[in-house]
């Protein structure tokens, strides 16, 4: 093989086209991008279509075979979006925000020049379902991307934008799928063409097809750009067994000449998400492009992914329609039982009507068929009369039967509505400035609440933005990690002393800026967590939580949420369910000025969250707390009987004492936040 090879790619979804000459969009001097910018973009929503909601993510590694999602590298983007930056980095909402309606971001390819990284990808118009080629640029090593809009728009569908620099020397190879011949399989064959120029002419390889799915190797279709590593050429393929496969497979090309081709599969493993539909690529992926990173010692890869399985919308519509159909039958049955419908048809509906007396055979057949149909109607009438005679809906027993059927009808209707209108079940994160991030979930517990903890970990580990769960173990024998079913890493931090101050211990092993302090007996939806995380990312210097309280009066008195709502505002947020910057909050809590407060917390075995609220308020003259209303939240301590606040009146009395003591040490807690003041509707 020549030293300066350039490999070109196939077209997406098996349609055989020659490689798109997208290099014409890059000028030789400076490689300036030539996009077509629209008028000032209007705000548009991303509208996923029947093919799913594909997006693109970035992976980094020391080699092409050690790639990790960008969130594992702790990269910060600033601007209040917190860190780490998390996948996906480009979605259809980003394209729509640039002024181009989009329902699809897939097949991403990289083009690197200097410290600028360009990403070309397929975007699909939700109205015409036509694919166009769009582009984005990153100048911070792939952490954030600026949308450049659609750069190639034709009257036909475009995809698989393999972009490369053209130097008119070296050998060029085109690997793709040829479906022009009779009987060829759209997704099952890999063919090769070669040329001395990317503009052609292209010559077919002598061994075409060099790879097909009939030899028990289901990765004939290309899954991205071939890449060079340690002097070897590698080809990426994808498993198309389900239409758009999940697994990306890599092959080492051992022989590539005009007459021969040989490849062997090599181990290639990317971290698979365990959160299912709550992960941006939890259902499927089918494309990966790998390049040498501008920093030199790293490699960067971009992969597309979708949280919705292929055909999910059709499946949900089918199942929902089946439930509606059964519900309709139940309505007819119910009507028949109460006598509202009687299956009596006029005799003329099934008697034969003939005008040609000579057509004796035809008339006899009509009489026979209509006679049978008439018998069927009569039998149905008799059955309805028989059932109606046995069930008297005015009697108690008959009313029970009717009530059961109505209950079944309601349940069937609810299931049908859920499948058709309830969405795919994913609880997605909310972006801030088109960026995603992750947080660490921290809970404090002990051996008497182990059953709570198991349910807590299994539920919250599925939430999209949860990076890790830390269990602060205060007392008793800690559980083994095998006892906790989790989709994310779990770390059990065993404390030497049973104190509430352990909740805010400085922990240098935490990998995110945000920590969600959440009691293990509080259960809420992942969407509630994601909404709170979005609000905190917009206000990272504050405590953002779900349980507001009001401290007012002289001396200060601790008031519940109902009273706070009556007064229209709050100035405390319980840290048993709250987001905070752990470096900022924990440093303040373990400062020298907070030592007296920590002793008071140990004395009362209470009020650690009240102390933290005072420490935040003492550092700012503006609001330091934000409230987010959960859709629903269940306090499981009511069932376990191990909560420290079982006696509400006594609990509030202790907290009022804490307020009086803390106000004398740290100043009065006077600042107030008002409900429904942010404008997002989440603090109503």
Q: How far is CA 367 from CA 143, 352, 371, 379, 559, in A?
A: 79, 6, 6, 18, 84
Whole-number CA gyration radius for the chain: 33
Host H or E run for residue 584: helix 582-589
Residue 170's domain is classified under what CATH number? 2.115.10
Same structural domain, 327 and 282 = no
Phi and psi at 354, nearest 5°, equal -125, 145
The number of distinct structural domains making up the chain is 3
Q: Which DSSP string do the residues of 24-88 spell out, in sequence order?
A: GGB-TTT--B-----SSPPP-----BTTB--EEEEEEESSTTS-EEGGGGT----TT--SSEES-
Strand 439-445 vs strand 577-581: parallel, antiparallel, or unpaired?
unpaired
Same structural domain, 293 and 381 = no
Asked if 580 and 515 count as a contact pair (C-beta separation under 8 A), the reply is yes
Domain stops at, among 308, 341, 376: 308
Q: Which domain holds residue 634?
A: 439-674
Coil, helix or strand at residue 472: strand
Query: Around 465, how many Cα atoms within 13 Å sit in the side-chain half-sphere?
Result: 33
Mean pLDDT split into 10-residue runs, the chain, 684 residues: 34 34 32 36 49 88 94 79 89 91 92 91 90 94 92 90 76 76 58 86 88 62 90 86 65 93 90 88 91 85 89 85 87 66 47 51 59 61 55 70 83 88 85 93 91 93 97 93 94 95 96 96 95 95 96 92 95 96 96 96 96 91 90 78 69 95 90 90 92
Host H or E run for residue 469: strand 466-473
Residues in the chain, how many? 684
Residue 495 domain-assigned (yes or no) = yes
According to the model, what pLDDT value does residue 407 have? 87
According to the model, what pLDDT value does residue 25 have? 35
CA angle 612/499/647 to nearest 5° reads 80
**Which is catalytic among the residues 520, 528, 609, 683?**
609
Asked if 499 and 602 count as a contact pair (C-beta separation under 8 A), the reply is yes
Residue 37 domain-assigned (yes or no) = no
Same structural domain, 621 and 474 = yes
In eight-state DSSP terms, residue 199 is T
Same structural domain, 253 and 344 = no
Contact partners, residue 430, CB within 8 Å, separation at least 6? 530, 531, 533, 534
Please give the biggest Cα pair distance in the chain.
113
The model's pTM is 0.80
Q: Which DSSP string do the residues of 294-325 spell out, in sequence order?
A: TTSS-EEEEEEEBSS-TTHHHHHHHHHHHHHH
Return the closest-CA partner of residue 487 out of 169, 248, 303, 272.
272
Same structural domain, 489 and 627 = yes
Same structural domain, 341 and 256 = no
Strand 625-627 vs strand 543-545: parallel, antiparallel, or unpaired?
parallel
Residue 359 domain-assigned (yes or no) = no
First-to-last C-alpha distance (Å) of the chain:
67
Return the closest-CA partner of residue 198 out of 398, 434, 21.
21
Asked if 613 and 543 count as a contact pair (C-beta separation under 8 A), the reply is yes
Q: Distance (Å, rounded) from C-alpha 517 to C-alpha 311?
A: 39
Residue 559 domain-assigned (yes or no) = yes
Same structural domain, 542 and 622 = yes
Read off the tokens for 592.
Answer: 């020298």
Residue 609 is a catalytic residue: yes
Domain stops at, among 276, 291, 308: 308
| Residue 119: CB atoms within 10 Å | 26
Return the closest-CA partner of residue 115 out of 85, 136, 90, 140.
140
Q: Identify the residue whose tokens are 């790879």.
A: 211
Same structural domain, 87 and 70 = yes
Residue 682 domain-assigned (yes or no) = no
Same structural domain, 524 and 669 = yes
Contact partners, residue 480, CB within 8 Å, separation at least 6? none
Q: Distance (Å, rounded) from C-alpha 551 to C-alpha 108?
A: 53
Is the bond preceding 209 in cis, omega lying within 30 degrees of 0?
yes
According to the model, what pLDDT value does residue 66 have? 93
Residue 46 domain-assigned (yes or no) = no
Same structural domain, 195 and 336 = no
Q: Distance (Å, rounded) from C-alpha 199 to C-alpha 21?
A: 8
Q: Phi/psi zone of residue 48: left (φ > 0), alpha (ψ -120 to 50 degrees), beta?
A: beta
Q: Phi/psi zone of residue 176: left (φ > 0), alpha (ψ -120 to 50 degrees), beta?
A: beta
Q: Which DSSP string do the residues of 362-412 spell out, in sequence order?
A: HHHHHHHHHHHHHHHHHHHHHHHHHHHHH--TTSHHHHHHHHHHHHHHHHH
Residue 629 domain-assigned (yes or no) = yes
Residue 432 domain-assigned (yes or no) = no
Which residue stretches of 208-273 are H helix?
none
Asked if 15 and 179 count as a contact pair (C-beta separation under 8 A), the reply is yes
Q: Which DSSP string do the residues of 593-657 spell out, in sequence order?
A: GGHHHHHHHHHHT--HHHHHHHHHHTT-SS--EEE---S-EEETHHHHS--TTSSHHHHHHHHHH
Return the closest-CA partner of residue 611 out of 650, 535, 669.
669
Same structural domain, 294 and 317 = no
According to the model, what pLDDT value does residue 224 have? 92
Q: Identify the residue whose tokens are 């350039």.
A: 6
Same structural domain, 284 and 413 = no
Residue 474's domain is classified under what CATH number? 3.90.550.10
According to the model, what pLDDT value does residue 394 have? 66
């Amino acid at each position: 093989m020549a030293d300066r090879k350039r490999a070109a790619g196939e077209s997406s979804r098996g349609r055989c086209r020659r490689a798109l000459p997208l290099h014409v969009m890059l000028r030789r001097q400076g490689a300036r991008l030539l996009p077509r910018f629209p008028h000032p973009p209007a705000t548009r929503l991303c509208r996923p279509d029947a093919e799913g909601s594909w997006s693109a993510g970035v992976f980094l590694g020391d080699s092409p075979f050690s790639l990790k999602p960008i969130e594992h590298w702790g990269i910060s983007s600033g601007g209040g979006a917190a860190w780490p930056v998390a996948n996906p980095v480009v979605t259809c909402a980003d394209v729509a925000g640039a002024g181009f309606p989009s329902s699809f971001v897939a097949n991403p390819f990289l083009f690197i020049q200097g410290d600028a990284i360009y990403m070309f990808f397929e975007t699909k118009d939700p109205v015409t379902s036509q694919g166009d080629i769009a582009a984005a640029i990153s100048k911070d090593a792939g952490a954030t991307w600026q949308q450049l809009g659609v750069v190639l728009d034709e009257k036909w569908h475009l995809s698989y934008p393999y972009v490369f620099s053209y130097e008119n020397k070296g050998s060029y190879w085109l690997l793709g799928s040829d479906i022009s011949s009779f009987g060829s399989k759209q997704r099952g064959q890999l063919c090769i063409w070669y040329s001395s120029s990317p503009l052609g002419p292209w010559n077919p390889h002598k061994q075409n097809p060099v790879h097909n799915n009939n030899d028990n190797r289901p990765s004939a279709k290309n899954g991205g750009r071939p890449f060079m590593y340690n002097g070897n050429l590698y080809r990426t393929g994808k498993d198309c067994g389900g239409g758009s496969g999940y697994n990306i497979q890599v092959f080492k090309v051992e022989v590539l000449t005009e007459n021969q081709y040989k490849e062997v599969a090599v181990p290639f493993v990317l971290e698979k998400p365990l959160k299912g539909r709550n992960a941006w690529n939890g259902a499927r992926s089918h494309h990966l492009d790998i390049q040498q990173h501008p920093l030199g010692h790293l490699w960067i890869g971009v992969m597309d992914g979708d949280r919705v399985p292929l055909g999910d919308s059709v499946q949900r519509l089918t199942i929902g329609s089946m439930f509606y159909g059964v519900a309709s039958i139940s309505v007819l049955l119910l009507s028949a039982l109460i006598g509202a419908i009687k299956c009596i048809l006029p005799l003329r509906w099934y008697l034969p009507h003939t005008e040609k007396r000579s057509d004796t055979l035809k008339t006899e057949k009509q009489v026979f068929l209509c006679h049978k149909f008439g018998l069927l109607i009569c039998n149905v009438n008799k059955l309805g009369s028989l059932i109606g005679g046995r069930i008297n809906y005015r009697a108690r027993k008959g009313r029970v039967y009717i009530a059961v059927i109505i209950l079944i009808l309601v349940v069937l209707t609810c299931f049908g509505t859920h499948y058709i209108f309830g969405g795919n079940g994913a609880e997605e994160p909310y972006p801030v400035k088109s960026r995603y991030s992750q947080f660490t979930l921290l809970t404090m517990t002990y051996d008497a609440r182990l059953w709570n903890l198991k349910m807590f970990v299994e539920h919250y580990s599925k939430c999209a933005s949860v990076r890790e769960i830390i269990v602060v173990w205060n007392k008793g024998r800690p559980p083994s990690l095998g006892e906790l079913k989790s989709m994310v890493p779990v770390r059990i931090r065993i404390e030497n002393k049973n104190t509430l101050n352990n909740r805010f211990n400085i922990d240098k092993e935490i990998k995110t800026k945000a920590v969600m302090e959440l009691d293990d007996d509080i259960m809420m939806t992942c969407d509630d967590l994601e909404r709170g995380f979005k609000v905190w990312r917009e206000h990272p210097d504050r405590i953002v939580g779900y349980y507001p309280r009001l401290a007012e009066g002289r001396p200060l008195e601790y008031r519940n949420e109902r009273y706070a709502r009556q007064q229209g505002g709050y100035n405390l947020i319980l840290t048993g369910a709250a987001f905070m910057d752990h470096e900022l909050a924990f440093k303040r809590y373990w400062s020298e000025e907070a030592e007296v407060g920590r002793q008071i917390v140990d004395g009362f075995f209470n009020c650690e969250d009240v102390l933290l609220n005072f420490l935040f308020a003492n550092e700012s003259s503006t609001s330091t707390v934000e409230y987010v209303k959960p859709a629903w939240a269940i306090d499981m301590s009511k069932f376990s009987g191990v909560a420290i606040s079982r006696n509400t009146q006594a609990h509030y009395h202790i907290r009022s004492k804490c307020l009086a003591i803390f106000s004398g040490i740290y100043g009065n807690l006077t600042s107030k936040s008002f409900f429904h003041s942010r404008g997002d509707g989440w603090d109503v």
